[in-house]
Amino acid sequence: MSDELKTRLVREAQSIGFDMARICRPDAVGHVAQGLAGFLAQGYHGQMVWLAERTHWRADPSVLWPEARSVIVLGESYTPEHDPTAVHARPDRGAISVYAQNRDYHDAVKKRLKRLARWLIVETGDAIQVKVFVDTAPVPEKPLGQASGLGWQGKHTNLVSRDLGSWFFIGSVFTTLELDPDPAEIDHCGSCRACLDVCPTGAFPAPHQIDARRCISYLTIEHHGPVDADLRPLLGNRIYGCDDCLAACPWNKFAVTAREAKYHARNDLIAPRLAELAKLQDAEFRTHFSGSPIKRIGRNRFVRNVLYAIGNAGDPKLKSVAQSLCDDPDPTVADAAQWAVSRFK
């Protein structure tokens, strides 16, 4: 691929809405297999049983699609305009992860990926093939991001960029076209351990390792059923995801505010009232979170999270809210409500 066409590819990606575009080979992440095997052997994946499936794909993208010759890895900023940790000082309000404070990013990123893929086909001819991925297939996106030079996996295991900090989505375009790869990024964390030290639940057994079973994002989004009693007080008022390790990263001083309006927070989701969220029934929940990634976890799991936050709030005015749900038809919600009430005694 000529340097001139590669330059135009990067320019096109930026015009579409991506902030960064880098290229690597599909077989550039051979180290993933060992790390994934260790993660699974320790049981760090918790209830996410799908991570133990098709591990040969997750560990080697060249197996996922053998015909692919190049991977274009894209980064798109969703940096917030507000301080996402300020809500923790307001215990009667819920803390929602920044990426979920508006529309589901999967839809927006995938549309851009498809636009870029179509452009590439038009520019190079119909003989090439493309596939696009954004967090919905067994693709090791973070290792590919490091291999392509997009960023490096920090001690919190998330990708960090010198240009975008920690707040960015990752997408990829696999293609049968031979593209010149970019140099891989190196680790720039140094001795910093801000992301490790800030974690409320101690979810990092060691730098670059995460035990999802203690991660608040996992517990509030992926975990089914009651959360272990010893972890509930550590959730604070986090009701969907957790941004603490991302927000603590010093590289965020270089982050750029999200250009996409759909990533800008809805005012009612920056610090929503727990009392109002707890009252949502299924139909109301679906309407309230229409188009949001929060809708995916369903009313019962979400209200469970809200009740844990109410139990941690220490606000007497919220006791009656919890009491009203002690006989909820869903046993996990009822259990969470009873636990919350017990915290007021």
Asked which of 126, 144, 175 is the last residue of a domain, the reply is: 175
Phi, then psi, of 74 in degrees rounded to 5: -115, 145
| Residue 37 and residue 133 share a domain | yes
Q: 327 pLDDT exceeds 90?
A: yes
| Residue 201 and residue 291 share a domain | yes
Average predicted confidence (pLDDT) for the chain: 94
How far apart CA 337 and CA 130 sit, in angstroms, is 49
Full domain range(s) for residue 46: 3-83+99-175
The string of pLDDT tens digits covering residues 234-261 is 999 999 999 999 999 999 998 888 888 8
Which single residue is written with the structure tokens 């800030």?
Answer: 198
Which single residue is written with the structure tokens 């692919």?
Answer: 68
Q: Give the mean model confidence (pLDDT) for residues 147-153.
A: 96
Residues 6+ apart with CB under 8 A from 260: 17, 76, 78, 108
How many percent of the chain have pLDDT more than 90? 82
| Residue 132 and residue 58 share a domain | yes
Q: Do β-strands 70-77 and 20-24 pair in parallel, antiparallel, or remain unpaired?
A: antiparallel
| Residue 146 and residue 38 share a domain | yes
| Residue 212 and residue 161 share a domain | no
Choose among 260, 218, 252, 253: nearest CA to 235: 218
Are 252 and 165 in contact by the 8 Å Cβ rule? The answer is yes
**Given the residues 92, 135, 182, 315, the one annotated as active site:** 135
The string of pLDDT tens digits covering residues 266-290 is 999 999 999 999 999 999 999 999 9
pLDDT of residue 59: 77
- How deeply is 40 buried, as exposed, middle or buried, from its count of CB atoms within 10 A (0-12, 13-18, 19+)? middle
| Residue 203 and residue 124 share a domain | no
Residue 189 lies in a domain: no
| Residue 145 and residue 8 share a domain | yes
For this structure, is 83 an active site residue? Answer: no
Phi, then psi, of 342 in degrees rounded to 5: -65, -25
| Residue 169 and residue 220 share a domain | no
Are 295 and 289 in contact by the 8 Å Cβ rule? The answer is yes
Residue 307 lies in a domain: yes
| Residue 148 and residue 15 share a domain | yes
Asked which of 147, 175, 203 is the last residue of a domain, the reply is: 175
Residue 30 lies in a domain: yes
Residue 89 lies in a domain: no
| Residue 125 and residue 29 share a domain | yes
Residue 116 lies in a domain: yes
Q: 310 pLDDT exceeds 80?
A: yes
pLDDT of residue 52: 83
**Which of the 8 DSSP states describes residue 79?**
B
**Which of the 8 DSSP states describes residue 161?**
B
Asked which of 125, 148, 175 is the last residue of a domain, the reply is: 175
CA dihedral (251, 146, 172, 100) positive or negative: negative
| Residue 107 and residue 199 share a domain | no
Are 73 and 141 in contact by the 8 Å Cβ rule? The answer is yes
Give the distance from CA 250 to its chain's centroid: 19
Choose among 97, 73, 88: nearest CA to 242: 97
Which SS3 state, helix, strand or coil, does residue 186 take?
Answer: coil
Residue 182 lies in a domain: no
- How deeply is 180 buried, as exposed, middle or buried, from its count of CB atoms within 10 A (0-12, 13-18, 19+)? exposed
Structural domain count, the chain: 2
The string of pLDDT tens digits covering residues 43-91 is 989 999 888 887 877 778 888 899 999 999 999 999 998 999 999 999 9
| Residue 210 and residue 156 share a domain | no
How far apart CA 48 and CA 223 sit, in angstroms, is 8
pLDDT of residue 2: 65
Residue 225 lies in a domain: yes
How far apart CA 340 and CA 79 sit, in angstroms, is 33
Residue 186 lies in a domain: no
Which SS3 state, helix, strand or coil, does residue 88 take?
Answer: helix
